[in-house]
A and B are shown apart, each in its own frame.
Chain A
């Protein structure tokens, strides 16, 4: 039976934490753990989810969970998986939840090592597009144009000048058994991917876009809506990589307005029409690649 909101485990595994209202990351963690079930052994590096979930004596994971070093999500996952297997324990899911900085910047080396070894782990990157836990600093997954506290938008520099690192394809280039992109705006798609990953041996990677109202400058009840909109306007896409092939899971008939998506977020408020034109053009180039290379 396909997993969906009706069949989802009612048990909560991540609750009582102090994440901000409307936190997309905590939604991704909560849902993924429900799909994985009580035998998930979670590794979370320094970052939002560990900061809000592990404050002694208020420990918020109902399943086994541990904080790793910032760079060490994947390497600790490897150790957890090997350590349990070495003791003859096999009915568990080693799962990591790391943010965009913890994955695409400081944790990339360890992640690459784990994929290279094809360790039997599931690595979920909840991407809120900046170092939100430390106060909204640029990461390599911050999109072009976004204002962060380290890429201020002023007269001379107009926010982040570099495009978002293409981590999904970097991960896929390792020849990983399974990789996927997702968004908390399309939660059934995300759940399906976690469920799929759960049953695949070897390294699995899911990159889930998870808006941060605090860092993006949207209302706390707009998280899901904007996580849908980013897919609908074509700046994010839902796809999978398996058996050496990319598959697109959702092809918008026509894109919603990029400008509307950007302008509703205070991090993009300063963008000019020319900036938006650059973003639109790069979206179209990306989609040309997707249309030519993805099934």
Chain B
């Protein structure tokens, strides 16, 4: 293990190199570029033995990765925002074909208005595409996630593509000290990709076929089961990871000072670092507050959320997305988790950080203050006013 000073993008690229992908296809888009530049350098200097394909669009980036995966190769791509939307056709395609491609997405706002800065409207718009979705909160987790994502995606009980999300700029471009594991450690962690779901010269197959009304649901149900299975395999991967690398992750969610918390703020990504600080400050003042970070949005941590917040007086979601005409999508999902667990807890939604707008400590403190009113509201942070008639 070696300590390096790396940005989130670079850390992720180091993680990908350790996973030894055989085919990388990518198209540049801010703020993803550094991860593919770094991987190109690794291929050039011989430290990564992969086919690097300079595709002419994001649609081709993922289509090419699907092609590589369809013959049993380990495939990686990376994108962001408009690029993710441009390749959107290929997302359910990869998931439906059960091709365990790993993709890094640098979370960035979507046009219009044009904006290159970070929010999570890009990836969250693709929640229904059948991909596992993870959200890293720092560069170390980004590297570790890169390595773990292949293990999880390629596990035979999962066979589902994996989207690892890093907040644009805030995480992708911020430098931190990162432990970079050795290749030997990584090889001990990550087995070679082996699958029967491939075209094979010895055993020819027809893949990515049509399935009509009589058989379609069978395949879709299997796809659903595969991504649900990821919950268990994520735990298995993290256990294995902890044994080899000594760093332990906590599955679909990570809770901070929630055990006795009356008020819990639920968020995801790099924002959780700031919320953690606010929780510490408010705790010093005697407030019983806590943080629940969603590390994964798919599979969705229904049970983990319910178990964590069951004794809380109120919860709020702070998210960098909005489903126009309704509310933040994370909030919708969280409320569904509460409902299924028969928890009648007031919940509020705060939509912030759109287009990279900074979120301030004071705003988070206000959220915790407002939580004490135990109401259910949907608000845009920094704009003021409720967004619906709740």
Contact = CB atoms under 8 A, between A and B. Distances in A.
Nearest to A119: B53
A39 interface: yes
A69 interface: yes
Contacts of B70: 66, 76, 79-80, 83
B236 interface: no
A51 B209 CA distance: 9
Contact of B64 (A39, A41, A54, A82): A82
A135 B329 CA distance: 39
A195 interface: no
Contact of B73 (A57, A72, A86): A86
Interface in B1-59: 22-23, 25, 50-51, 53-57, 59
B90 A78 contact: no
A82 B51 contact: yes
Given A69-B93, A113-B60, A54 B22 contact: no
Contacts of B172: none
B68 A64 contact: no
Interface in A76-91: 76-87, 89, 91
Interface of B: 22-23, 25, 50-51, 53-57, 59-61, 63-73, 75, 89-90, 93, 199-201, 204-212, 215
Contacts of A79: 23, 25, 53, 63-71, 75
B215 A83 contact: no
B71 A41 contact: yes
A124 interface: no
B75 A83 contact: yes
Contacts of A54: 206, 208-210
B196 to A, nearest CB: 13
Contact of B53 (A66, A109, A117): A117
A38 B203 CA distance: 11
Nearest to A52: B210
A59 B89 CA distance: 23
Interface string A45-80: 000001101111101111111111101101111111
A202 to B, nearest CB: 15
12 contacts: A61-B204, A65-B207, A66-B70, A76-B66, A78-B64, A79-B68, A79-B75, A82-B68, A84-B71, A84-B73, A86-B51, A113-B57
Interface of A: 38-39, 41, 43, 50-51, 53-57, 59-69, 71-72, 74-87, 89, 91-92, 109-110, 112-113, 116-117
Contact of A55 (B50, B66, B210): B210
A82 B25 CA distance: 10
Contacts of B25: 75, 78-79, 82
Nearest to A92: B201
A134 B51 CA distance: 36
A68 B211 CA distance: 15
Contact of B206 (A60, A76, A81): A60
Given A54-B206, A82-B23, A86-B73, A66 B199 contact: yes
Contacts of A81: 67
Contacts of B209: 54-56, 59, 67
A79 B22 CA distance: 10
B316 to A, nearest CB: 40
B77 to A, nearest CB: 10
B68 A38 contact: no
A61 B60 contact: no
Given A41-B71, A55-B212, A82-B22, 7 more contacts: A38-B204, A55-B209, A65-B199, A66-B207, A69-B59, A86-B23, A113-B57
A68 B63 contact: yes
B63 A75 contact: yes
A237 B134 CA distance: 54
B20 to A, nearest CB: 10
A112 B204 contact: no
Contacts of B204: 38, 61-65
B85 to A, nearest CB: 14
Contacts of B73: 82-84, 86-87
Q: Which of B71, B93, B199 has the most CB of A within 10 A?
A: B71
A86 B59 contact: no
Nearest to B193: A87
Nearest to A39: B201
A75 B72 contact: no
A100 to B, nearest CB: 20
A103 to B, nearest CB: 15
Query: Considering the complex of A and B, which 8 residue pairs feature the smallest CB-CB distances, nearest first?
Result: A79-B67, A113-B56, A83-B68, A83-B73, A72-B63, A75-B60, A64-B199, A86-B22
Q: Which of B23, B59, B65, B211 has the most CB of A within 10 A?
A: B23
A141 B57 CA distance: 24
B55 A75 contact: yes
A117 B51 CA distance: 12
A110 B56 contact: yes
A81 B22 CA distance: 12
